[in-house]
Amino acid sequence: MDRKLLDILVCPASRQPLALLDKAGLDALNRAIAGGDVKRNDGSAQADAIREALVTRDRKTVYRLDDGIPVLLVEEGIATAQVEGFPAG
């Protein structure tokens, strides 16, 4: 992801800056997705593994990247509180 773009992106709900999700966070998220335990903010299940994602500064919300394009819709966000073992940072 382009660094200049990343520097200006913020969470649409909290307005917190976003950063690329690290490997440990991505692994924890994908383990939970594989277990069928992850729901998006709109209540729908996140069925597919995520290859890249952005995370808020407080690490409470994740937004996936689809082919390098951030999906910054509040309803598409994923609360990390539902992911057992999600690293605090």
What pLDDT was estimated at residue 21? 97
* Span 57-73, pLDDT tens digits: 999 999 999 998 999 99
Residue 65 falls inside a structural domain: yes
How sure is the predictor about 1, in pLDDT bands with cuts at 50, 70 and 90?
low
Tally the domains of the chain. Answer: 1
Residue 66 in domain: yes
60 is in which domain, residue-wise? 3-82
Rounded distance between C-alpha atoms, residue 84 and residue 10, angstroms: 25
| Predicted structure pTM score | 0.92
Residue 88 lies in a domain: no
User: ∠ CA(78), CA(47), CA(32), 5° rounding?
Assistant: 60
**In a domain? residue 87:** no
Beta bridge partners of 70: 65
pLDDT over 90 at 54, yes or no: yes
Q: Is residue 31 domain-resident? A: yes
Whether residue 53 contacts residue 40, with contact meaning beta carbons closer than 8 Å, is answered with: no
Instruction: Tell me whether residue 89 is in a domain.
Output: no
